[in-house]
Structure 1
Amino acid sequence: MIKRGTVKEQLTVDSVSIKKNGSCPLMPEEVGLLLQALGYPSTTIIYLAGSETFGGQRILIPLRAMYANLVDRTSLCSQRELSDLAGPESPLSSDLPHPPPPKSEKELIEEWKKAGPRPRPLPPPPARPFYAHEKEGWYGWIGENDTEPDPSPIEFRRQAHRLLWDALDYFVSVQADAFFPGFHNDGSGWPDYSSLIMGHRLYQTPSGITYRPDRKTVATLFENVSDHLYHPPRNWTMAARQHLNNSARIEGIKMSATMSKPASFLAHPLPECSCRTAKSPVVQPVKDKHGALLFGGEEDCPDWMVRTLALVPTKNNEPQSEDYEGELPEDDPSQDTQQESDRSDTNKSEQDEEMDPDD
Structure 2
Amino acid sequence: MAEYQLWNASDYGYHSCVQPTHKYQAPRAWERYLTVRSNGGLNQMRTGICDMVAVARIMNATLVIPQLDKRSFWQDSSTFADIFDEPHFIQSLKGDVRILQQLPKDLESTPRARKHFTSWASAGYYEDMALLWKEYQVIHVPKSDSRLANNDLPVDIQRLRCRALYHALRFSSPIEDLGKKLVERLRSNGPYIALHLRYEKDMLSFTGCTYGLNEAETEELRIMRENTNHWKIKNINSTEKRNEGSCPLTPKEVGIFLRALGYPPSTWIYIAAGDIYGGETYLADLRFRFPNLVFKDILATREELHTFGGHATQAAALDYIISVESDIFVPSYAGNMARAVEGHRRFLGHRKTISPDRKKLVALFDMIDKGDLKEGPNLTTIISLMHKFRQGAPRKRYGSLPGSKGRNRLRTEESFYENPFPECICRHKKSVQNI
Normalising by structure 1, we get a TM-score of 0.50
State the TM-score, normalizing by the size of structure 2.
Answer: 0.42
**Greater relative contact order (CA < 8 Å, ≥ 6 in sequence):** 2
Higher strand fraction (1 or 2): 2
Structure of greater Rg: 1
